Structures are given as C-alpha cells and as structure tokens.
A and B are shown apart, each in its own frame.
Chain A
Amino acid sequence: MQIVYKVVMIGDFGVGKTSLVQRFINNSFSEEYLSTIGVSIAKKTTEHSTIMLWDIEGHTEFKPIFKQYLLGAKGFILVGDMTRIDTIKALQHHIELCHGIVPDVPIVIALNKADIENIENAEVLQQVEKISSHIVKVLKTSAKSGEHVEELFHALDKAVIEGL
C-alpha cells in the first residue's frame, strides 16, 4: 500500500505547533518566535506512509481558524500550551470544530512546553482526555527537548493507518 494523507495541526497562537513540526521533521528547535501566517506545509515520509502536515495559523481572539484548511484531513494534532491554561481549555472548542468539518478521525493532543515550569493542573489535564472518544493519545511534549514528539506523531500515524 502506498499511503499518503493529510494531518492538520490546530491550536491557539504561540502554543508551539510550528516548533513541534520542526522538531519532528528536521529535529531542530529555535527560540525565535515567528508567527505562522496562513499555512505552512511540511512533508514527512515514514516507513508506511507519507504525511502532509498542515501547520495552520494559530487561533486568536480576532482571527478564527480557517475551516477550509481542515478539509480532507485524516487526523488532527491539537496543541495546547502547558504554561497557558486558556490554550488548553480552548482544545474542546477546537475538537468540536474538527468534528464539524471531518467527523470520526483520530486526534492526538500535545500539551506542549512541558520542559518549562507549568501549571500542571491535574484536573484540567484529565478532562482533556474526556473531550472526545476520538482522542487517541494525550502527551506532554517539549519541542525544545524533543520529549514525546516522535511518539505523538507515531501514535497518530498508527491510528490513521488502522482506521483506513
């Protein structure tokens, strides 16, 4: 089988979506913050498949997520910032948005910036898993250190291939 599919990274601005992609693709990290405008696309070829990663512009109060970018996705990576509780609370809204566009696809959640001092609000974190039955995995990640980044993508890859 020659599998190729689309995965969309979703989360509020500055949660580290682009950094996670950079770590996964190039195994690199930059402290410099460059806001993604529109969409940035990356390709990762794994043993079984080719993943087209759509790293879209982060959600802000003034700018909603552009729904068209979600079309046809086979999986979603939702990212929250462990140092900003509102970004984690917003995950529920993002998941609803995803299901609204593409129902029944696997989702993995990255709680990013785990390397720095964070809120560690156990109650909030536990609730994240319960938002949707389609959540395959919730991982505390760090793009900076690379912690759980590989696992994050592999978990989604596996779920997508199984679901085909």
Chain B
Amino acid sequence: MKNQESKEEETQALEDALSPIVNKLIDKNYETSKDKIASQMAPLIGSAIREQIKSQKDDVVDALYPVMGNMISKYVTQSLEDLLDKINTQIQNGLSMRALKRKITAKIKGVSETELLLSEMTSSYIQSVLLIHKETGLVLAHIENQTLNEPEMLASMMTAIRSFVNDWVEQSGSYQELGEIDYGGNKIIIEASGYSYLAVIVQGGAYKTTYDAIRVCLENIVLHHGDAIREFNGDLSVLDQEALKKEMLPLLALQDQEQLPQKKQPIHPLLYLILVSMLGFGGYSYYKHYQAQQLQKRLQNLLYTTPQLTLYRLTPHIEGEQVVLDGEVPAQYYKDLAQKIVKKQLKTSTLQNNIVVVQSFTDPQQISSYIAYLLQGFAMQEGVHLHYIYNYPILTLEGSVWNPSQKEKILKKLVEIKGVQKVYDKIVIAPPLPITTLYFSKGKRSLSTEAQAKLIRFTKKLMRFNIKGKLFITIYSDTLGSKKANALLSQHRAKAIKDFLLSKVRVHNPLSVEIKLSPPKGINPKKQPAKARCATIALTKEDKI
C-alpha cells in the first residue's frame, strides 16, 4: 500500500515539475511550427466537425448561425441590388424598340411582361467561343470577350471529358452526346458537328436565342469550312482563321446586344415615333387629298350636268373640312339651286356658298325692251309724251313732259338701267294748255255751282303746272231773243267769271275777255240752246284751240 502511495506521490511530483516545461515546449512548438500544426490538425478538424454535427447538431447551427446568416444576407442583398440595377436600366430604356417588342411578345405568348423582363435581366453573357477539332481536341479558332487562359488545355480537357462521357453513354446502349457542362453560375455549351464542335463558355443563364445562335454559327462554319476542317492534319495555316472568327463573331455580338445595351447609343425611341408619325401623317394626308379630289370632281360634274346651271361656270373647292362654291349667276335662284345640289352630296363637310348674283343684261335688245317697258309705264301719266333712241350704250330721249319734276323722275329711273351708260336729254318741258267750258242757264247771268267747281279745277291746274300765260275768256250766246239783251247778258256773265277768278280763286294771270254774240262753232242754237249758252276759258285764243 505504502509503495503504491509513494508511487502516486512521485507521479504527482513529476507532473507538477514537468507541467510548466511541457506547456512551455508546446507554446514554443506552436510559435515555431504553425504550418505543421495546421496541416496535422486539418483532417482532425473535419472529423471533429462531422462528429459534432452528428451528436450536437443544434450547437453547431447556433455557433455558425451568426456567420452564415450574415454571409447569406450579404449575398442575397448584393444579388437583389444587381437585379434592381438591371431593372432600372430597362425602365430607363422603357420606350426602346426592345420594350415594344417585349410588350408584343407578352401579348402573343400570353405571359406577363414582368416575367419577360426578369428573363431579360438574367440574360446570358458569352465569354468565349472555341472551335475544337473533334478527334484531337485541338483549337481550330477561338474568340473571346474575356481573356481565356490556356484555351488549348481547356479544349483538350473538354475533348477528353466529352469522349469519356460519349463512350460511357454509348456503352449503356444509346448514342447521346454531352450537351453542356455547368459550373457555378456558368456553363459550357457544346454543339457538335461531324469533325468539329463549338464550346461556348456562357456566364449566367442561356436561353433559346443563345442556343439558336450557336447552332446557326456552327452550321455556317461547317458550310463554309467543312472540307478544310475534315482535312485538318495539324497545320493551322491551312484554315482561314479570319473567316472562321468572322463566322463566330455574331455570338459575341449577341452578348453585346443582351448584356450591355447601355454601351451602345441607340437611336432615341422618339425618333422612331416621329418617323412613324410622319409616315402615318403623310399617308393620311394623301388619303384625304385623294378623297377631296374625288369629291370635287363629283360635285363639278353634278353642277355641270344640271341643265339650269350648265351655262354658268361654278367651281367647287375643298378647303380642309369645308366645301367652297365660287362663280357668278344672274339670279338668286341659281345660287340656291347650286347650294341645294351640293349639300345633298356632303356628309360631314360644311358648305360655304360664295356664288355672286350679278344682274347684268348686256344684251342691247334686252336693254332696249326694258327701256320701252319703263317708258310705257311713264306714258300713263298725264302730259308725258316721250320716245327714245337707244344706241348701245347711249340713250337719247325726246318728247315733252308737263313739268321738270316729272322729267327728273324719269331720267333717274332710266339711268339706273344697267347697260345705259349715258342719256342724251332732249325732253322739252311743255305744260298742258288747259281749257274749260262753262254753261249758263237760260237768261241767268250768275255762275252755277257746277260752273264754279269747273273754274276751281281749272285754276288748280294752272297753279300745279305754274302756268303764267294770259287767260282768254270767250262768251258765247244762244242768239235767242234780242241782240241788246243778249249783249248785256254776255257782259254780266263775263263780269261774273272775272270776279270769280280774281276775287274767289285769286289767279295772277292777266285776263282778256271777248264777247261773241254767236254760238260756238258747230252748235245749232235752235237744236242745242243749252250748249250755245256758254263761255270758254283758255290759255290761247279760241281760234288757236
């Protein structure tokens, strides 16, 4: 027992003595051989983590959560920012032809525009294109956007992998080719023909357009360079490198278009709109012009074929939405008729009737007859005796009227006739020569009421025509009874007339009285004694009447 106790004490003492030294040695070793320790510890750490996950999974999750959470959130944030940037760029170019195309595609395919927009956001970026000889894996030509390290090595490795996979698939009984290799967010698309294949390194997603473009590219290469590739024996100079690269270039251009639209300065979409608008406006204007012409033709034809209007040159014009009628007609009737005909043909246009009514009778015969008609009218007035000579355009008037106001009125009317430019006035003012006969009852010396009325009318006529001449009063007798008695009676009668004219109606004309103790000419006093007992008052003497 004692032995055992002393042994334990020794061990304890040894531990106490060695502990500081061993710790120091470990520290020193750690300082000097960090790398070695790390390499020794590395496999252990892996196993330790696995063991820990197996037994205490939650602990590991808790321990890593702060780190992993941050990492994931940082990655997600970055990705979302990138996406946002791309969407912003797309919206800024919102009116581009691509945007229009997208809208149409969305309608045709029945998918939302957002979906298409998102698919554009994740568009492919072609990094490199390699044309590789199928058997040897040698690079026949290559083009790239980003410098590719050791394309020959990549091509050979790709060929090896492709050969391996194809062989392995073949062993399983089917013949299928390796189509693409994905790594991370990228992929290598392989498109093979008989003697060569294209390896296209794409960053991001690849879409139908990408595959189609690759296929078309390889088809063109095989078409134009197939024979040279088949005969290829290692000498690259037999291949037209420039031509091959030219065939492959569209693939890189595809990337330019999809990935970096902001680098190009595309024609501003407004220019397209302006161009389209101008074309549209031009077409519309031409269409309107054509329609207007047709309408004008139709209206012209219609006016011409209307018998009443055939004589007159009426022209319809189209001014915008308005039809304007021009021309001259001799009467309002024709103007209204033309308006009625044209209006019937119009649906939306308005009508402006500018037709002028011109009443001009330039036919001398017509003018002459119009003058004759007018003068005939005037001749119905008392004292108007006129005739005319019309020698276009001069009118000569001859004849007489009773007073100047009558003449003035007639001339005024005649001058108004169109076609009469000048009037030679040869009209004489010839007042009427009034005469009145007064009858006396048997043996009476005074004036009867009827005789007085006659005298008043006579005097009024004198005054109306302003006749200043001498008045001749002639007293006739029925010769019945004695001469003396008749002579006395005649004197009384003459006096009665004179008195009436001078005092009652107050004529200013001088008076001359002649007493004839005989009946008037042609009157038989025995048969017509009442007619023989009379007196005449006139401007001239009896024998001049």
Contacts and interface: CB of A to CB of B under 8 A. Distances in A.
A164 B235 contact: yes
B437 interface: no
A41 B236 contact: no
Given A4-B152, A5-B138, A43-B150, A68 B236 contact: no
Interface string A25-67: 0000000000000110111000001101010000000000010
A54 B160 CA distance: 9
Contacts, number: 68
Interface string B205-221: 00000000000000000
Contact of B234 (A3, A38, A66, A69): A3
A103 interface: no
A72 B235 CA distance: 13
Nearest to B165: A68
A2 B233 CA distance: 11
Contact of A54 (B139, B156, B237): B156
A89 B164 CA distance: 28
Interface string A1-17: 11111100000000000
B136 interface: yes
A71 interface: yes
Nearest to A53: B156
B199 to A, nearest CB: 15
A69 B164 CA distance: 8
A69 B235 contact: no
B163 A68 contact: yes
Interface residues of A, number: 24
B156 A71 contact: no
B152 A43 contact: yes
Contacts of B236: 2-4
Contact of A38 (B134, B137, B139, B164): B164
Given A2-B237, A164-B235, A41 B153 contact: yes
B163 A71 contact: yes
B172 to A, nearest CB: 15
Contacts of A38: 160, 164
A138 to B, nearest CB: 24
A54 B137 CA distance: 10
The 6 closest A-B pairs by CB, nearest first: A72-B135, A72-B136, A68-B163, A5-B234, A71-B135, A2-B236
Given A39-B157, A73-B136, 6 more contacts: A2-B237, A3-B235, A39-B160, A41-B156, A41-B160, A71-B136
